[in-house]
Structure 1
């Protein structure tokens, strides 16, 4: 393993781990750009997915009380998401994944850009179980079809007047369940066959960086955390769009 490869793996793990600890999502957006320089795409995605799950478990522990306080709310997202993942994989047979990702990226940019320039954010305070289920299902479909399970849920949750702990208590477990499904499928395809040396670098680095992100998360106000999700949505849209156009 060359020094250049080690540097890029460290940078990707640090960036991805930090944003995972801070927001509970977005690991791939910040890590893949570094990993793809020194790894093949399948191995890079496999490592990012596994790192997201392992680092994300730390975030789940932080919001464990909020999860236990509203288990039904979480299930409204997770169960439809699990149904959506195989649908998304099936849709890959008839859809161009690049076109789909570009379309979603454009929507993320418009959404994130619009709310980024507003002085205040709208708040959907009333219970919306049907919409929650739909958002979870869409997240699952996009996860299976384009690897973007967290995009739409992040957008929706940024508009809910929940505390930062309540928001993360849904977003982080949702992403972990979706990504665990991805990791399992990639493992069965042999994606981790040559990933051992890289994992020895990325996993510890990602875990440490996630702890730093969690420390920052604890200092954020509820409103500041909502703004983090809005700006992350914009960054996700730009990042996905650029990666598809290059």
Structure 2
């Protein structure tokens, strides 16, 4: 373990933990670039999955009452997603993951750019249980096929006129659950070698401390500011994803 590896590991963990604490997703977006500089892709993803879950558990605590108040809404997203993950993995034989990522990147850019430029945010306030299930199901498929499970729920939740705590009460447990399943699958495939575990000993506490700063900023945001933040992150996510696939 070199000093350069530790430096990039710490910087990536700080960035990933902060955005997870702030927005309940996006750890990979902000951390992966740093990690890939000093480690192979599989090892980088394995570390990101774990710090996403450990950072996310702190976020779960601050919205635990909202989760308990409306567990059916979360279930409408989460249960279909779990069913969709194996389909996404199976589709890897028929679908080029790079092409799928490019399509999602363009969609994120169009969505984020359009709603960022609008003065008024969309305001869907009626119950939409069927759409929630469809979004969750396809999010699971995207998670299994291209590790993009958070894209659709984030876009859909940003369009709902929910308070920020209720939005987080969907996104945070959704991402923690999906990524926990991913971590288990990676473990069964031997992704966590001794060096990776040493890296995690540095990355986990760093990300958790940084996530606390993100949670602090989250508490200061208004509901509308949080929705605009999600939309802006969608745009940035699409741009970064597009750059990675093209370069």
TM-score under structure 1 normalisation? 0.99
Whole-angstrom distance in 2 between the partners of 1:88 and 1:200: 31
2:37 alignment partner, SS class: helix
Match of 1:160 in 2: 160
Tell me if 1:13 matches 2:13: yes
Cα displacement (A) at 1:7: 0.7
RMSD: 0.6
Stretches of 4+ moved more than 6 A in 1?
none
Match of 1:191 in 2: 191
Match of 1:206 in 2: 207
Cα displacement (A) at 1:38: 0.6
| Greater Cα shift, 193-202 or 132-141 | 193-202
Say how many residue pairs are matched: 246
Cα displacement (A) at 1:200: 1.2
TM-score under structure 2 normalisation? 0.99
- Once the two structures are superposed, residues 95-117 of structure 1 have per-residue CA deviations (whole angstroms, 9 ceiling, x without a partner) of 10000000000000000000011
Cα displacement (A) at 1:3: 1.2
- Once the two structures are superposed, residues 55-108 of structure 1 have per-residue CA deviations (whole angstroms, 9 ceiling, x without a partner) of 100000000000001000000000000001111000001110000000000000
Tell me if 1:145 matches 2:139: no
Structure 2 residue runs of 5 or longer lacking an equivalent are: none
Tell me if 1:221 matches 2:222: yes
1:113 alignment partner, SS class: helix
Cα displacement (A) at 1:28: 0.4
Whole-angstrom distance in 2 between the partners of 1:102 and 1:49: 22
Cα displacement (A) at 1:216: 0.3
